[in-house]
Amino acid sequence: MKKIKNSFILKWTLLLLFSTTIAFAQEIEWQNTIGGGSIDYLNSIQQTSDGGYILGGYSNSSISGDKTENSIGGYDCWIIKLMPQGSIQWQNTIGGSSEEGLSSVHPTSDGGYIVCGTSDSNISGDKTENSLGGQDYWIVKMDSAGSIQWQNTIGGDDTDVLRAIQQTSDGGFILGGYSKSSNSGDKTENCWGVTDYWIVKTDSLGSIQWQNTIGGSLTDVLQSIIQTSDGGYILGGYSESNISGNKTENSLGSGDCWIVKTDSLGNIQWQNTIGGNGIDEVASICQTTDGGYILGCVSESNISGDKTENSLGSFDFWIVKTDVAGNIQWQNTIGSSVSDQFSVVQQTPDDGYILGGSSSSKISGDKTESSLFVDYWIIKTDPMGNILWQNVIGGSHVEMLKTIDQTADGCYVFGGYSRSDSSNDKSENSIGSSDYWFMKLSDNYNFIVGQLFADLNSNGFKDIGEPPITGRKITESTSGRFAFTEQNGRYTIGVVDTGNFNVFPQTVNWFGATPALHIASFTGISQTYSLNDFAYQPQGTFEDVCITITPLGNFRSGFNASYMISYGNYGNTTVTPTVYFYPYSNVTFQSATFTPNQIFPDSVIWNLPALTPFQTGSIIVTVNVNPGLYRNPHQQQRAY
């Protein structure tokens, strides 16, 4: 249930067209919104050996919605085991009387799970050890049914934040995060700077075998750690430090990507500081099939230092491929005109890469689909980092993608948290303030494609000048899958399997859809049934003009500020409206992007040109906020 992708071209003919195409973006096979009545954040999802999934995050919800246990403290770890189709098999809320935050959960070789996170609780609830400092590493081993087998609180006298864990080849675990603690508690080395990388190796029961504090004189934050094929470890994160402590290279910008390779005992073998003149940070790292590494980074740097491309927006995805010694082989800056937040990268079986993060931008830069607000952004690349397909998935509010995993059937499951009700790609309403939202993508799809347009002369064809109808919902009745029309009026609905599928459009005031229903038939997979247009024909004669006014940004006394006046003709006749703007007495009209016909001390008037049905527009109005004004100056603005 997606919008049209730019990864394929639709050829419109007068006859029904079937086409088989390549480089389709994978589409949603199923999705689930899981949460309680308050705040729930999903950080980790992985497929399990039985074809289901293990989810981990943190929650402050009590029994409500899908949550079957009350909150123990402020935030608790919330682990959920899913069946293969995404329904809940079991769940466990674990924590103490204060705050716990889960970073990740992974299946273990014995069929259980290892949970890693951060805790500042003393003995209480599920917590069996007191806090050692402000926050501590907390690891919890669970059996296959989610019951706790053992746990360990690891930390020093200050803040220690655990970001990542992996079971190692000897059955133990490698832990990676950052620390502010001195030599105290479990910590055997003082801090080099403000915060350092802190890696801890445990045995299979969570007892410490060795540890290493790695850093420079300023702030160093480890985000990702994995065991490498030689039995050592690769560490990735963020550093502000110049040459000092363990750091052998100066900072290139405000903060850089810092990767460190260690041997099997945590001793540094080599390191590389990678960045440009801004902020660059490794969010995710993995070893590639050639023995090198792929770094998934967030970057705001322009061409400088190691960066070979300018920033496309505020922050971009930045993927960097290195050889086995950490030397850059290639890189790609992927982004849009605003901020894009990168989360995770994995290599795929075809030696390409799957990237995941979030974006709030419209179509711009590398982005081929607009976000409604903040949406998941998934990108598939070839082995050289070139985009093969992408998918923007979200609802009408905030979605933040945190985790992605490849499934045994070659598809992807991914998730994060959502604040949206049912809208756009989201099929369920929000349960609390934010919920776990996860889904499986699949390429076993057929596509129903069509267009909505205003058939003003009711002849059944889209003639020149007849406008597309945007933002309207199209539904497939059997599966309940749906899509919304794009700016050009087109829509695409992905449906599973073969057979007959019925699609119908949303009702539009003062118009009737012709036909009322289309039937799409498929005999195979990756087919496109493309002539499914709906002509909206006028029913009677109705005038319906809508005008809204929205403040753009904050208003400050003595400064200029702006409003957007939006207007649209939603009736079925051509109209010539007049817009009146009545500013509040403490702001003064300055200018507008559409020249007013009349300006008075208390009002501004525009006589708009003729608007055909579904035609919209906007006027940006600039005002000056009178000095000495402290109340909200746009409280009483009016436009109609």
pLDDT means per 10 residues, the chain with 640 residues, are: 31 30 69 97 97 97 97 96 94 97 97 98 98 96 98 98 98 98 97 97 98 98 98 98 98 96 98 97 97 97 97 94 98 94 95 96 91 94 95 95 94 96 92 97 87 95 93 88 86 87 94 95 88 94 94 86 93 95 90 95 94 94 82 48
**Tell me: the pLDDT tens digits for 13-50?**
222 333 333 356 788 889 999 999 999 999 999 999 99
Give the burial class of 426: count Cβ atoms within 10 A of its Cβ; 0-12 exposed, 13-18 middle, 19 or more buried. buried
Q: Output phi, psi for 52, to 5 deg.
A: -85, -155
This prediction has a pTM of 0.75
Measured CA to CA, the distance from residue 521 to residue 500 in angstroms comes to 4
DSSP state of 434: B
- Tell me, what's the pLDDT at 6? 32
Decide the pairing of beta strands 196-202 and 280-287: unpaired
- Tell me, what's the pLDDT at 22? 39
- Do 592 and 584 touch, CB atoms closer than 8 A? no
Instruction: Give me the amino acid identity at 621.
Output: V
- Tell me, what's the pLDDT at 3? 33
- Which residue, 503, 341, 474, 416, is CA-closest to 2? 474
- Do 560 and 590 touch, CB atoms closer than 8 A? yes
Domains in the chain: ranges and CATH: 52-169 (no CATH), 445-538 (2.60.40.10), 545-639 (2.60.40.290)
- How crowded is residue 24: how many other Cβ atoms within 10 Å of its Cβ? 19
- Do 449 and 2 touch, CB atoms closer than 8 A? no
**Tell me: the pLDDT tens digits for 265-284?**
999 999 999 999 999 999 99
User: What average pLDDT does the structure give for the chain?
Assistant: 92
Q: CB within 8 A of 182, min separation 6: which ones?
A: 156, 157, 158, 190, 191
What H or E segment, with its residue span, contains residue 201? strand 196-202
- Provide the β-strand partners of residue 56: 44, 79
**Tell me: the pLDDT tens digits for 155-186?**
999 999 999 999 999 999 999 999 999 999 99
